[in-house]
């Protein structure tokens, strides 16, 4: 069975949440040539964005006023593959123990052994299980891997298909030749010959194909039809990291609950090679005697194999609980286990490099798990000239997981000269300048008069005609006679002055 995950790059980032009206665009990182759109959500397609479009062209489809209605993210193939691997391990526990990733360079489907299973019912249950997990999939069951893959990716069915054994050739005939997983050069050559369907390819003399296209084309045809066996590398079966404790007599004391969770966590950590891996997501479930279960989800910025760190976060959450009755059962599950982030010791200095960062991460984890994801936000720079739209805020834990190692790019370096405090909207002020196009000599703000000692600028910021209302501003960095520094601009459309930021 092939479980094809349409638009996987977008599905992984939305993580089962409703897309709503906000568009999501994944683009290639800086490198050779102009960055291009790799994938986009349905809301972005409605605006006219398509994969392969240049990033600049995609950005131009949103006016400045709608800057917050779209999110741009850099393509991370390694994270996309890891997300698919995590889903494969989940499928091992929920659907089939034999699961393999698509062997292609950019996998977007899972291949499962469906031997001995009721075909359509098995596929329906698999799709339903993934839907509950927040993942949309199309399932195809066939006698060969190639046929299942081809129909899952290129058929226009309702998301469920079963091909009877022996009818693979008839099922493949109407599909495009790309469904045979041929290299781009072979597909291009076939298109030049106006061979666009598998049926047209199968009608050609088989003996003449290798001399014109190489032996690969016969191998892919035979794999799809079952004449040549195709072997999959199934992911090793991972034992679920779950432990539970039944109390002889129900308990409500926090210390007792923490002691039971500590014992279960000890048992889990013995199954994890803690010198290489750590727990990034932990889930504790408390089952009161007469009430529904209470689930405590713990998330970390970085994987940790230190029991003390995990227990501290669990204890913070238990302190906040108001249980309606005594607890009869406790269970602990390591939902996500990831490789540890190792730090090298400094040659000179005190302690490991980045030790301060570990302390900051620990604080953020405590705040995030105590107050909730949406209470601790991380500012993310946007490729936007207009300052009020050059930043967005995301839950810190979620943003750190999607971008594990911050990258300093040109946008970040240029932002270092920006004020530490940027007002959400520029504030109209009264200012006086000696020349019409010069820097201000003094200005009034919040009832006070400020005399300008020094001024640097102007830095002109404009938006193009495609962004809606014109924005034309001359920004100045102002230092007052009292040593304060402000960031303000003259609106060139009406010559009014606005204060936009304050330097700390």
pLDDT digits (tens, 9 = 90+) for 320-356: 777 767 888 999 998 888 777 665 555 555 555 556 6
- Structural domain contains residue 89: no
Token pair belonging to 164: 């009877």
318 and 383 co-located in one domain: no
Query: How many residues comprise the chain?
Result: 504
332 and 281 co-located in one domain: yes
408 and 430 co-located in one domain: no
Per-residue pLDDT of the chain (504 residues; tens, 9 = 90+): 999 999 999 998 886 555 555 789 999 877 667 889 999 999 899 989 999 999 989 988 876 545 567 888 889 898 899 889 888 888 887 888 889 998 888 899 999 988 776 667 888 888 888 888 888 898 999 989 999 999 999 986 656 788 888 889 999 999 999 999 999 999 999 999 999 999 999 999 998 898 888 888 999 999 999 888 888 888 776 667 888 999 988 888 888 888 999 999 998 888 887 777 788 889 999 998 888 888 888 888 778 888 888 888 888 888 877 776 788 899 999 888 877 766 555 555 555 555 666 677 778 777 877 777 678 888 877 777 788 877 778 887 766 655 544 433 444 444 447 888 888 889 999 999 888 888 999 999 988 999 999 999 899 998 766 666 788 999 999 999 999 999 999 999 999 999 999 997
456 and 394 co-located in one domain: no
427 and 495 co-located in one domain: yes
Residue 146: closest CA among 204, 200, 206, 222: 222
Residue 484 has phi, psi (to 5 degrees) of -80, 150
Within 10 A of 490 (CB to CB), how many other CB atoms are there?
24
- Structural domain contains residue 222: no
Sheet harboring 37-40: ordered strands across? 37-40, 23-27, 70-74
- Structural domain contains residue 252: yes
Alpha carbon distance 224, 160 (integer Å): 19
Structural domain boundaries enclosing 332: 242-359
Contact 225, 168 (CB under 8 A): yes
- Structural domain contains residue 395: yes
């Amino acid at each position: 069975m092939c479980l094809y995950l349409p638009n996987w790059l977008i599905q992984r980032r939305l993580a089962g949440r409703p897309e709503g009206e906000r568009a999501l665009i994944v683009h290639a990182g800086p490198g050779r040539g102009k960055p291009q759109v790799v994938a986009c959500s349905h809301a972005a397609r409605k605006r006219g964005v398509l994969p392969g479009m240049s990033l600049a062209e995609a950005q131009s489809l949103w006016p400045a006023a709608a800057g917050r209605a779209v999110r741009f993210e850099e393509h991370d193939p390694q994270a996309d593959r890891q997300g698919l691997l995590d889903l494969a391990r989940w499928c091992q526990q929920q659907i089939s123990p034999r699961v393999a990733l698509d062997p292609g360079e950019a996998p977007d489907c899972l291949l499962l052994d469906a031997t001995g299973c009721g075909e359509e019912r098995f596929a329906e249950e698999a799709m339903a299980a993934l839907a509950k997990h927040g993942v949309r999939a199309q399932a195809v069951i066939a006698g060969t891997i190639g046929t299942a893959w081809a129909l899952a990716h290129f058929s226009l069915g309702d998301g469920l298909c079963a091909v009877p054994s022996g009818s693979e050739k008839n099922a493949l005939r109407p599909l495009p030749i790309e469904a045979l997983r041929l290299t781009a050069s072979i597909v291009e050559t076939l298109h030049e010959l106006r061979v666009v369907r598998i049926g047209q390819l199968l009608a050609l003399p088989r003996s003449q194909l290798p001399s014109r296209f190489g032996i690969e084309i016969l191998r892919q045809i035979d794999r799809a039809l079952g004449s040549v066996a195709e072997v999959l590398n199934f992911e090793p079966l991972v034992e679920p990291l779950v432990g539970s404790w039944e109390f002889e007599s129900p308990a409500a004391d926090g210390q007792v609950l923490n002691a039971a969770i500590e014992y279960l966590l000890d048992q889990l950590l013995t199954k994890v090679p803690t010198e290489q891996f750590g727990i990034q997501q932990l889930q504790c479930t408390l089952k009161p005697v007469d009430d529904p279960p209470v689930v405590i989800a713990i998330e970390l910025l970085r994987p940790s194999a230190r029991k003390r760190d995990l227990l501290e976060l669990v204890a913070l959450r238990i302190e906040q609980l108001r249980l309606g009755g005594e607890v009869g059962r406790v269970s602990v599950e390591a939902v996500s286990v990831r490789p540890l982030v190792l730090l090298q010791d400094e040659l000179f200095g005190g302690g490991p490099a980045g030790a301060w960062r570990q302390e900051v991460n620990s604080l953020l984890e405590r705040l995030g798990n105590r107050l909730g994801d949406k209470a601790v936000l991380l500012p993310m720079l946007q490729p936007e000239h207009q300052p009020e739209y050059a930043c967005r805020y995301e839950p810190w834990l979620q943003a750190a997981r999607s971008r594990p190692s911050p990258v300093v790019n040109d946008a970040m370096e240029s932002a270092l000269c920006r004020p530490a405090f940027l007002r959400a909207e520029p504030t109209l002020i009264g200012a006086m300048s000696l020349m019409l196009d010069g820097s201000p000599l003094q200005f009034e703000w919040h009832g006070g008069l400020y005399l300008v000692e020094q001024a640097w600028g102007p830095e002109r910021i404009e938006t193009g005609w495609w962004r809606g209302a014109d924005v034309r501003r001359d920004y100045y960095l102002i230092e007052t006679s009292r040593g304060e520094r402000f960031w303000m601009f003259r609106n060139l459309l009406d010559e009014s002055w606005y204060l936009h930021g304050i330097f700390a």
